[in-house]
Amino acid sequence: MFNSVSPSTAFKRVTLTCTIDCRLLYLLFLFLFLLADSTLYGATWRAGFAKHVITPAEPTWMAGYASRNRPAEGKIGELYAKAMVLEDVNKQRFVLVTLDLISVPHTLRDYLENYVHDQFDLPPASLLINCSHTHCGPEIRTTRWSEDANHSDRLTLARKYVAILKTSLAAVIDSATGRLEPVSLVFCHSRCGFAMNRRTPRGSGFINFPNPEGPVDHDVPVLKFTAADGTIKGIIFGYACHNTTLGIYKFSGDYAGVAQKQLENTYADAIALFVLGCGADINPYPRGTVALAEIHGTTLATSVQAALQTTPTILNEPLDLSYEKVKLKYSPAPSKEELITRSRSSNSYESLHAERLLKQLDQQGHLLTEYNAPVQVIRFGKQLTWIALPGETCVDYSLRLKAELENHKDLGRLWVSGYSNDVFAYLPSRRVLLEGGYEGGGAMKYFTTVLQHGPFASDIEQRIIGKVNQLLQRSSQ
Ligand SMILES: [Zn+2]
């Protein structure tokens, strides 16, 4: 039998079928291209950035070193509050506020938490506040515990500054929100080496001295935000190291301030935000001069640029945000008799601390037995998990979390930050707590926003890690 369809008709049909198939194929490719393009350049994320100068206009007292005996005498650079507002494909928003300041007092966190709720209907989980912990910023303690009989103007200046600061922080979040625009978002990382552990065994204790054998976390995590036209709009980067190259009487963002400025000079359309990691027991070395702060800042900025040359993880999955408080217990409180003995100590910081505790005991009938500390987890789907811990966070936390979670397939890349949301005391690991020394509990006498008698109970690490795991498990469900 001959085929009833002539060769020319069959050819036409094949051509016609091919034309239809090709069109479908073309449309499919176009769809996939647009999908990929929208994933890379805009449809998945919108982000906005802003920064405000928060350098005090008048010579306030400075924070960070209890031995300072006079107010600031000028500045060698500006201090900034910066904000990044990120919106995912589901219109869920995440706000990051970074501060060139010593601390994030819980009162400041409460204020901003209320502000973003009232203005933008955002829950606490949508807000992360991190401080660079510069020791060349203004004093921001506004409680009665920081009264100093010899310098009565000190508290007044701090209160006046914090009132202005609050207005600035609200304004910087407003500005960033007003600048939301489509962006692509990638994560990458590198390493940077000037951070060295500062706990050196000496005699029966530990001294603050460079210890090359001690643990460090040299990771430099980086988030890069790129607009549809290819310009870099924002860079968020981290490092785990005390921001203490300097101890001078001039305002400065120290190495973290230098790194941010250099990145903003390199990427002219970008705002760079520094997020401090778990660097409570780590210092920059060598240290002590403005030139060294410049060198460390330049080194860190260069490490960020190096990270940007690596193969990035493209982030295109929605946010999953969680934020909860965990109860941290203190060791048994000293008796009144013990406090009276301590109040007669020749060490003026110890005696003043004991006097304040005695006052607390008289006024409240008891000393603090526990503290509610915030723990936050920001998940970018299964591509990146960002854990933000409170307090002056020791490096063991980030090392442990990275070791335990790095092979968890649902968590993706890991970023562990410290100094987030409430910096109420040093947050020692169990090891550091049991070893003792400054970070283990000795520094408690210098914290006055929350007056604490001293060291935490030995289950502190277990409680923090337990809360992180709880938040991770809940977000995985
Ligand atoms: Zn510190």
What spacing in Å lies between the alpha carbon of 354 and ligand 1's midpoint?
A: 21
Q: Does a structural domain hold residue 473?
A: no
Mean pLDDT of the chain: 91
pLDDT for position 144: 56
pLDDT score recorded for residue 6? 44
Looking at residue 10, what is its pLDDT? 43
The pTM (predicted TM-score) of the whole model is 0.90
Domain, as residue range, for 350: 334-368
| 97 domain-assigned | yes
Kindly state whether residues 82 and 104 are assigned to the same domain: yes
Closest by CA position to 129, among listed 297, 376, 327? 376
Q: Is residue 410 part of a domain?
A: yes
What is the model's pLDDT at position 470?
97
Residue-wise pLDDT for 82-104, tens only, equals: 999 999 999 999 999 999 999 99
The reply to whether 153 falls in a domain is yes
State the distance from the centre of ligand 1 to the C-alpha of 390, rounded, in angstroms: 13
Same domain, yes or no, for 346 and 238? no
The reply to whether 286 and 352 lie within a common domain is no
Same domain, 242 and 342: no
How many whole angstroms from 233 Cα to the centroid of ligand 1?
31
Share of the chain above pLDDT 90, in %: 82
Q: Is 436 left (phi over 0), alpha (psi -120 to 50) or beta?
A: left
Note whether residue 284 is domain-resident. yes
* In a shared domain, residues 293 and 157: yes
Check whether residue 64 and residue 95 sit in a common domain: yes
Q: How far, in Å, from the CA of 254 to the mean position of ligand 1?
A: 13
- Both 87 and 174 in one domain: the answer is yes
Do 115 and 134 reside in the same domain of the chain?
yes
Model confidence at 28: pLDDT above 70 = no
* Residue 60 and residue 157 in contact, taking contact as beta carbons nearer than 8 Å: yes
Claim to verify: residue 265 and residue 361 sit in the same structural domain: no
What pLDDT, on a 0 to 100 scale, did the predictor assign at position 328?
98
The most confident of the ranges 62-71, 429-438, 441-450 is: 429-438
CA of 295 to the centre of ligand 1 (A): 21
Q: pLDDT digits over 292-318, tens only?
A: 999 999 999 999 999 999 999 999 999
Q: How far is the CA of 371 from the centre of ligand 1 (A)?
A: 19
Q: What is the pLDDT of residue 166?
A: 98
Q: Is the pLDDT of residue 14 over 80?
A: no
Same domain, 62 and 111: yes
* Ligand 1 centroid distance, CA of 277 (Å): 12
Maximum distance among all Cα pairs of the chain, rounded to whole angstroms: 117
Total domains in the fold of the chain? 2
Distance CA 384, CA 379 (A): 6
Residue 9 domain-assigned (yes or no): no
Clarify whether residues 345 and 406 are in a common domain.
no
- 3-state SS track over 284-348: ECCCCCHHHHHHHHHHHHHHHHHHHCCCCEECCCCEEEEEEEEEEEECCCCCHHHHHHHHCCCCH
The verdict on residue 461 lying in a domain is no
Q: Distance from the CA of 441 to the center of ligand 1, in angstroms?
A: 13
State in Å: Cα 472 to ligand 1 middle: 28
Same domain assignment for residues 359 and 256: no
Answer yes or no: is 11 within a domain: no
Nearest-angstrom CA–CA distance, 415 and 401:
9
The pLDDT of 42-47, averaged and rounded, is: 80
